[in-house]
Each structure stands twice: as C-alpha cells, then as structure tokens.
Structure 1
Amino acid sequence: MERVVHPRRFASAFLVSGLLAPCVALAQGPGVPPTTKQIFPADPKASVPALSQFMGTTTSELAEVITRFAADQSALQRRYDAPDSKSQRTRMRAFFSAWRERLTGLDFGKLSQEGKADYVLLDNHLRYQLELMEREDKQMQEMAPLMPFGDRLLALHEARRELNSINGQQAARTLSEVTKQIDSLRALLEPAPGGAARAGGDSSRARASAPKVSRTVGNRTADQLDQIRNVVSQWYRFYSGYDPVFTWWAATPYQTLDEAMRRYTQTIRQRIVGIQVAAAAPSVAATGGPGGGRGPGGAAAQAPRNAASANEPIIGDPIGAEGLAMDLRHAMIPYTADELVAIAEREYAFSEAEAKKAARQLGFGDDWKAAMEKVKNMYVEPGKQPDLIRDLANEAEAFFGKQDWVTIPALAREDWRMEMLSPERQRVSPFFLGGENILVSYPTNEMTDEEKMMSMRGNNPHFSRATVFHELNPGHHLQGFMTARYNTHRRLFNTPFWNEGMALYWEMFLWDHDFHVRPEDRLGALAWRMHRSARIVFSLSFHLGKMTPEQCIEYLVDKVPFERANSEAEVRRSFNGSYSPIYQAAYMLGGLQLRSLYKELVASGKMKDREFHDALYQGGPMPIAMVRARLAKVPLERGGAAPWKFAEQLPAPRPFPVK
C-alpha cells in the first residue's frame, strides 16, 4: 500500500484560481469543539485489561486444528510458489482434499457449539478452495491458446524447487524454443507493416489464424504472463553468476526470452484488450506474489494481479450466475443474485425517500441531487482535511462513549494513526481508507484542478462524518484490534460480509440513534447508503453479464451523488482483481444480516447491546449466518445450519422524523 507521509504544498496558481470560493468552515456537532487527539492516556494502567478475564477461559476444541491448517496451507503456498503451475495445483488440490477427508473423521456430535461452528467453517473453507480450483481450471483452459508454453516455463522453476541439478545447455535450449513459440504467436496478432504479406501467407490470412479469445480472456492472460515472467526471472537469478556453465549457456537466451515475453504481453494488451499504451509489468510484490491465498481474505483478494494504469479500459472478469451462486454459497447467503439485486433496490428506495425529505428542509424541494451538490461544495480548505478527520473521529468516539453499546478498549482509542494517500492511489481509491491507519484522501499540488475539486467535493465534511467511524472505532480499526486478541484462529475465515458488513452496520445503527440530525449530515449518510445499494446492483449485474463496466459507471453517476471520476474509480477497483466478485455486495448485505440478527437477539430482549456487540468482535470473523448459529444456539449439522432468510426478518428502516 503506497502512502504519502510528507506534507504537500499547493501551487499558487491553484490558490488564486477561484476554486476555493465554495469553502465553508466545518460545522461541528452539538457540544463537540475541535480538539487535539490525546496520544497518551492519563492513567497508563487503563490500557492494560484485567488479566483474570483471560484465565480459565474455554475455546473451541478445533482452535488448534484450524491454526495448524492455516500454518500448513501457508507453508505449502510458499513452497509451491509458481502461479498456477501443474505442481502447485496438484499439490494444493491434494492438500485440501486430504484435510477435508481427515475432518470427516471427527465425532461431530461430541463437539461443543463453538467446536461445531469451527468444524462447519473449516469444511466450508475447504470445499470452497476446491470449487475455486475447478473454476480456475476452466479459466486456464480459456487462456491456453495464448500461452501454450506456460507450463514449460513454470516447470523450470518447479525443478529448482525440487532441488534438481541444472543442465545449462538444456535450459538454454528450452528458453530458445519457447522464445520462437512466443514470437510466432505474436506474429499472428500483429499485422504486417504496411499490410505486406508475411512469409507463409498474407496478413489477413495470418490474422485469421490467430487465437480467438475475448478481451476478458486476453486481459487475464496478459496478467498471468506478467507473473510467469517474474517467476522465470527469479529462476534465472538463482543460477546466474553462481553457476558459470549455466550463465555461459543461458544468459543470452534468457534476455531474448524476457524481451519476447514483454513484447508479446504488450501485443496482447494492444491487439486483444485494446490498451494502446503498455504499462510496465507488475512485480511479484505488486501482485501479491505467486501462490497466494484464494478467494475472500486471501492474498489474491488483497492485491490486484492487474497493476494497470488508472487510464486503461476497465475489463473485469465476470464469473456468471454459476460462479456467483458458488461464492454466495460459501458466504452462506441463501439468495440468488437476482434476489439480492431486488433487496438492494428496496433499500435504495428508502434512501432516496429520505434524501428528498432532507432536501426539502434545505429548500430544494424533492431535488435531492441539487441538495447533495450543496453539501459537496461545503469542503474544507487545502491542508485542513487531517484536522477534520481528527475532529470527526473524536466526535464519533464521544458519541459512543455516552452509550453502553460496545466495548472500545483504551488502547484501541490510543493506537490508531493517520497517513495521506498518494495522488496515484487516489485515482483508484478516491475516499479515505481505514484500519489502524486511517489513510486520508485529499488534493496535492501534483493533481490537476479537476482532480483537486473531485477530491475535495467527494471528501466533504458531511460525507466524511458518516464514515470516519466506519474506518476507525468501532469499525475496521476495532475489528482488527479484537481479531488479533480473540479467537485468532478464525482469521482464516475472514469475509467482507463480516468486516465490511459490521462497519456498515454501525452506519445504519447510528442513523437509527440520531447521530445525524442536521439535513446536511443526513444527506452525507444517505450518499453512502445509496452507494452501498448501488454496489450490489452494478457488481452483481456485471458478473451476470447484464451490465458492461461503462454501464456500471453510468448507473453510479445516475444513482449516487459522487463525481463521475469517483464513480469510474469505484468501478475500476471493483473489477481490476483487487476484490473478490461479491466483495462490493457484502457491505450492505452483511450490514442487513446484522440488523436482522440484532432484531432477533437484542430487540427481543435476549441480549443486551454491549453483550451482543462485544460477542460479534470477540467471536472472530466468519459468515454472519455462523455468527447467528453461535449466538442464537442454532442447531448445526456437518453441512451447517438451515438456510437463514435474513431479509424476511429485517426491521423496517427508520425514517427520520421531520416536524
């Protein structure tokens, strides 16, 4: 994650251009003056918990089993680190299958409820890994016409991992033969200069014999070739210079191969994908490294394999209705993608009605979009955004401090930090991000005037007020703080329905408890609520083949009050490989699941607020259906619990009373 930690100066031309005219002073919440964050507690012992609470506590019988599995999985992924090689796929498939077989040998009936929950979670994880490998097998078959040499190159690295002795002359021959194959494939994709005939036929006949693949497959193949090129580079560097015979034979063939792969990948992106300016091949570090975890929470879900420029076309890789059904089954969501879109549209209708209500208070009638424009123009001046974020974080913590809703340990209030997002990162992540570090998005002197305005308007005080606590306490920061301290074995089961859903749940919770009183603040909260509804619609529709990336952008521009550039960045990061296919839908769906569970357990009087919320954090990450199984003592079988139709049990959204 790229971060900018040094202060920025704004160009004088920007300061006199008149762009700052709409700036207004930040209106603080009632009784919450600007304040400096306390760095060190008055009583240092306040950050040390009572140690007796950790003594004699019981945990799941499978905690050590899952810890062992996670360690073994990680070890194998480091060992078999050639991405999608035959050896890697064969070994990992055998590993997951063997673990699943071992798991069936346990006496499920003798386990406690926590043990049964862990059994179901581990089995669900193993089944999903095997299903993902089946999906990836099909994707590899689609890419094979463009990279029939892939296995041969990856086998070089695998032989090194097997500690086989190297034959420099034979290795050089392999490199030269693959280079010829790559050059031949590239020739099929590139028309002859001036349309002249190529050897063996004219240019039209050469193009006709080129592999026929879609832009999606071409883009995926180019990304895979970047990774293979990195692996071959690692393989070569291991021997080069250390083995004089190998170096004598292989130095020139390797350099020729490397250049051939670079040109071929560039040609695929230009001729098939439609990218006219080739980007530098991403490094292994940039792509998360070969052999990373699969699916939500794995390395592949944390870092994009496509490190393309923000100016390139948005391609994506739709997984279809079957793929969505598989991912939703893993998340224990008993609805089809179309049913989830209907739920999102219902939630959007509530937000739109509330936005019109706030717009009327501001004198805009039902024109909520005009009211949103006024709110977006209430940005703070350059250089003041860190102060704003600090004050908003303090305001939210003070609001929570007056209630008995959730435990926020003293150390969790103390240890978070703030950094700035780079201009490059802001083009893909236009809003601040959070966790132990809150990463602030705001203009720098390197941006164009248009980019500066986009950033300031999109990060105005009222939009920001609704999500600072989503990123810090009791949102992502508190989640990370607690998962590092309670049921740590369950980090393997992390899902966006838990971490993003819980953070969004707090946005809905504070709406229900009058944190947003002024119409400007309500519009800020509703902008995000609309956004999360729209995310479900456009992301699932894309994977169902019902929307193109451009249609997704237009949908966001129409439905969500973000700048067009913000909407484009949102779609780009949704489909560039940074996130699993259902990640964007998980925000609101996870939040709605927790609302339904709150109604079942707290509104019914079975649990108190603090008891319920603390149990969410201390139980560890997992699909929300399994949170319910744990807390509500839902009967569990080896295959899990009965499907939970949470949407039928949702409390009605709370409309804001306007006198």
Structure 2
Amino acid sequence: MESIQDRIERVRLDLGEIKDFYKVRFSPTRYERLQKFYNDELSSLDKAPFEDYDQEGKIDFLLLKSYLRLKLRQLKQDAEKDDKVLEYLGGHFPLRAAVLISARQAVGPMDGKATATLLTELSGHIVSTKDRIVKEVLVAEPTTALRAANGLTELLSQLQEWYAFYAEYDPLFTWWVAAPWPKVEDALADLVKTIKTVVLGLDPLDEDKIIGEPIGQDGLLDALESEMIPYTPEELIEIAKKEYAWCENEMQKAAAAMGHADWRAALEEVKNEYVPPGQQPQLVRSLTMEATEYVKKYDLVTVPPIAEETWQTFMMTPAAQKMNPFFLGGDCIIVSYPTSGMSHADKLMSLRGNNIHFARATVFHEMIPGHHLHAHYWLRHRAYRYLFETPFCIEGWAFYWEMVLWDAPSWTKTPQNRIGMLFWRMHRCARIVFSLKYHLGEMTPEECVELLVDWVGHERATAEGEVRRSIMGDYGPLYQAGYMLGALQLYRLRKEVVVEGGMGEKAFHDKFLRSNMMPVELFRALVKDQELDKDFKTKWRFYDS
C-alpha cells in the first residue's frame, strides 16, 4: 500500500511531468488532463486509511487534500481568464497553434504542405488581430491584455521550439515551411509588442511601470481557505490597521527618547545613519554574526554548524534593486547599495533606505534564525512537504523573530534601533492593506506606493520597488500578508504552548523547523496533538488585539 509520504512525492512528480508535457496554456487538452488528474487524486485520497495514520500522517493527508482542492479551483479560474483572452484576440489562432505543438509532442506524421498552408493562415489571422487591436475594435481590461501578452510570449517560445524540432531534420518540412514560418514568428512578436506598448502603455525601455493581475474577492477567499486563515480580506485589513496603530504609538515613544516630538522626524535622523559606499557588505556580515551568536548564547534554537559556516555574500545588480531595494537573505546574503551608475537622487535614497538601523532590524529575519536557518532545515527534514510551501510559514517564521526580539530585554535596542524595527513592522502592516486592497480592486499600484510613503516613511524609490515586487514578482496574492499574519499566528501559538503550556522555547522552535511546510494552524494541531478528522476545517481565530 502507498504511504501518505510516498503519495505526496508521487503527486509532485506526476504533476510536474503532466505540466511539462501538456504545456500549451491555451490548449483545452491541458485543462482537461489537469482537471482529471486533480479529481482522480482527490477521489483516491478520500479512500486512503486516514484513521490508521499517526499525527504526522494525518497532517500530510490534510496538506495534500487542501493542495489538490486549491489547484483544482485555480485551474478553473485560469480557464475562465484564458477564455477572456481568446475572446479578446478575436478568434482561435492560439488554439490552432496549440494543435501544432501538441502534434509535435506526440511525434506524429508531418505534412509539410498542409503545415505551410496553416502557417500562412495563422500569420494572416495574427496580423488582422493586431490591426483590430490598434483600431480598438478589439478591447479588453488591462489584466486581460497583460495575460494575453504573457500567454502569447509563451506560445511564441513553444512555436520556436516546434520549428527547430523539424527544420533541417525533415527536408520536406523545411522545403515547405521555411518561407511562411518567419512571417508567423515576426507577426506574433509584433502582436505581443503592440499589446504591451499600445494597449498597456509599457515602454520596453521603461523599467518603472507597475502592472499586475488582481485576482478578486473569490480568488482571495480561495487562497485564504487553502492557507487555513478563517478571516475575510476585510477582517485582515482591520487587523493590519490595529497593528499599525500600536506601531505608531511605539514609534512616538522611541522618537521622544531621541528628543523628537514627531516620529517622522526621528525616522529621518535614523535614515541618515548609513555606512559609506563599499562598507555595507561588512556591516551586514557583522550583523549576521551578531544575530547568530545571540540565539546560540540564549539557547533559543538549534543552529547546525554547517548552517552557520557556509553562507556567502553577494552584491545585487542595479536592475535587480528596482525589484528588491533592500538586502535579501536565504542560502546567501545579497546586498543592495548604491552603484556608481545611479543618479545622485537614487544613490541617496538607496543609502537612506539601507541605513544601519534598518539593516540591524532585519538581518536576523533574513539569515539566522530566519530564512537561512529555516531553509537549512526544510531541505533536510520532511523535505517532501516543501510542495506545500506557504508564506505564512516562511515569512511568518522570519518576522516572528522580529516580534520575539522586540520583546527580549537581552536583545540590545537603542531608540534608533527601535525606530528601525518599527519601520519594518509598520511596513508589514501596510503590506497587508495594500496587497489585499490591490487584489480586491480597491487600490491602484500608484496608490499602493503612496501608502508605503505616507504610512511607513519609505523613500519613494524603495516604495516603488516593494510594490513592483509584490505585483510583478513571482508571488502569490497572499504573500505580502503572510509576513505579519503568519508571525501573529506563531506568536499566539508560542504563548499557548511555551508561555502558558510549559514547552521549552528551544523545543518549540526546533519542532517548527523540523516540521517543514504547512499552514500554522496545522502546526498548532501537530504540536498540541489535537484530534483531527479527514474533513478538517480551519477555525482558529488567532488574533487577540
């Protein structure tokens, strides 16, 4: 009999192979095959011996069930969105192109003459579609137009691979198709360019435009159900506002200790305390070592020697800094700081945005005991669970340490340090608000930038980078909310099992790290050994203001 762990591994591998083979986004066959896979796996899982599993096995069952159900819902939503794209393009030429690619996947017989005829028709359809879009005969919402441009870019790449498969290797194919193929290739590339520049206003030389694809209320509710967060988006926004009010009050206390009547004036003083160009890598490295020594000294979590020994430092490119204006951590540190080619204003904003106190407030978030330590464990303990990757676990764990060390008298904090810590805490509050309101259609990207500037005191360049990363990066709709909400969950659970329940703090932290990926509510059930059933529903109202 297949164990639940083996089942998860098989699902991951089977799904990867299916997606790799049925790869054309617009192909009905792809949707039908994926839908069958998810439904078959859910049906099979329902027959699994849930009651025979131990607590870890029951957790695995619930993780897989939630994952498959979410993927099935997302598949349906994607199909609906792609139907709008096909309607926008005024015909079904992507479907006809998909047939060519599918036939190549099956290595079916090639009729060069018929294919040349089809390509000639396709190029005509594509050119006509472009003309109708330019003349605004074909119109769509920006989100649909963006999805069309991205989908057609994928299609062009797949068609190029299709052509390379036959060209020269099949002489009759090359004889017939060599002339019509470049017209299709050029027409499709031109159509993508037209949609981006004419419809969306995206200048290829302009890296500053921010545009994304809001998923709406239903999409957010589906994602929240999968993450086991029993709150509505509106309730989560209110939680963020309450946390922001707490932060602002603490900001005012720290500002007063610095001799300022207004916290924004204190923040300006903190921003101007930065190291000269060239010295930021040494600062970040020394801060990383300080955080590592602290958690070891106070025996807060197990730090394996290899995790402590092998992290490296790299510099971030100017282009990457437009998406990531602050340093990043994980398997290594990637440092953001001004480069000689930046404008004078951008240099100053980067220096101020990466000041000493902001860096000290996040280095333990990024490295040890945060992301670097977490990644070391998830690669080595129940690694199959990484299929269920969640920001409430990844980012929640890292930000949780910001909350724990804020409370800890042994973690030295000057008023300037507190300002730095509170800046990021306010930032996490703002992330919940702007990301959820953006996906609800209640805020534009420009309004999201303004929120970060007004609420948090961001430099405009760093605010734009944060919003660009949230909207245009490869992140799920709840990723930005996952920082603070995941941390609030872990913070509340720590109170239940450590402060009130008597579990050792180090044991609690090590248990979390060795459990790999899961919604925090399931980790709560695991660590408290709660009774579970196969129809488990999220119900933990973790927030207590």
CA distance in 2, matches of 1:418, 1:577: 23
1:411 paired with 2:291, answer: no
1:235 paired with 2:156, answer: no
1:349 paired with 2:293, answer: no
* Kept after mapping to 2: 8 A contact 1:510/1:516: no
CA distance in 2, matches of 1:587, 1:496: 7
Q: CA deviation at 1:86?
A: 2.1
Q: CA deviation at 1:310?
A: 2.4
CA distance in 2, matches of 1:551, 1:311: 15
1:393 paired with 2:288, answer: yes
1:520-531 superposed matches below 5 A? 520-531=416-427
Higher helix share: 2
* Kept after mapping to 1: 8 A contact 2:395/2:486: yes
1:438 paired with 2:333, answer: yes
1:215 paired with 2:142, answer: yes
Q: CA deviation at 1:121?
A: 0.5
- Selected match of 1:180 from 121, 124, 137: 124
1:519 paired with 2:415, answer: yes
Q: CA deviation at 1:516?
A: 4.6
CA distance in 1, matches of 2:19, 2:246: 46
The one-letter amino acid of 1:623's match is P
1:249-268 superposed matches below 5 A? 249-268=176-195
- TM-score, normalisation: structure 1: 0.80
* Kept after mapping to 1: 8 A contact 2:296/2:302: no
* Kept after mapping to 1: 8 A contact 2:142/2:199: yes
* Kept after mapping to 1: 8 A contact 2:365/2:399: yes
Partner of 1:311: 208
**Identity over the aligned pairs, expressed in percent?**
42
Q: Deviations over 1:511-535 (max 9, x none)?
A: 1113252011111111100000000
Q: Deviations over 1:530-579 (max 9, x none)?
A: 00000000010111111111111111110012100111111111111521
Partner of 1:142: 84
User: Could you list the runs of 5+ residues in structure 1 that have no partner in the other structure?
Assistant: 1-59, 192-206, 280-308, 653-659
1:613 paired with 2:509, answer: yes
Q: Deviations over 1:66-89 (max 9, x none)?
A: 112212222222222223422222
CA distance in 2, matches of 1:190, 1:415: 54
Q: CA deviation at 1:156?
A: 1.1
CA distance in 1, matches of 2:105, 2:481: 40
1:246-325 superposed matches below 5 A? 246-275=173-202, 277-278=203-204, 310-312=207-209, 314-325=210-221
Q: CA deviation at 1:639?
A: 2.0
Given the superposition, is the C-alpha separation of residues 480 and 104 from structure 1 closer, same or farther in structure 2, using an over 3 Å criterion?
Answer: same
CA distance in 2, matches of 1:77, 1:320: 25
Q: CA deviation at 1:641?
A: 4.6
* Kept after mapping to 2: 8 A contact 1:434/1:476: yes
CA distance in 1, matches of 2:412, 2:25: 48
CA distance in 1, matches of 2:27, 2:360: 47
Partner of 2:61: 119
Partner of 2:107: 163
CA distance in 1, matches of 2:171, 2:404: 67
1:94 paired with 2:21, answer: no
Q: Deviations over 1:392-435 (max 9, x none)?
A: 00111121121121101111100111111100000111011111
The one-letter amino acid of 1:173's match is T
* Kept after mapping to 1: 8 A contact 2:281/2:335: yes
1:66-85 superposed matches below 5 A? 66-85=8-27
* Kept after mapping to 2: 8 A contact 1:87/1:158: no
CA distance in 2, matches of 1:488, 1:325: 28
Partner of 2:350: 455
Structural RMSD (CA) = 1.4
- Secondary structure of 1:466's aligned partner: helix
- TM-score, normalisation: structure 2: 0.97
CA distance in 1, matches of 2:134, 2:225: 43
Partner of 2:230: 334
Partner of 1:153: 97
* Kept after mapping to 2: 8 A contact 1:634/1:641: no
CA distance in 1, matches of 2:47, 2:482: 33
* Kept after mapping to 1: 8 A contact 2:291/2:369: no
* Kept after mapping to 2: 8 A contact 1:516/1:522: no
The one-letter amino acid of 1:155's match is V
User: Could you list the runs of 5+ residues in structure 2 that have no partner in the other structure?
Assistant: none
- Secondary structure of 1:233's aligned partner: helix
Q: CA deviation at 1:642?
A: 4.8
The one-letter amino acid of 1:557's match is V
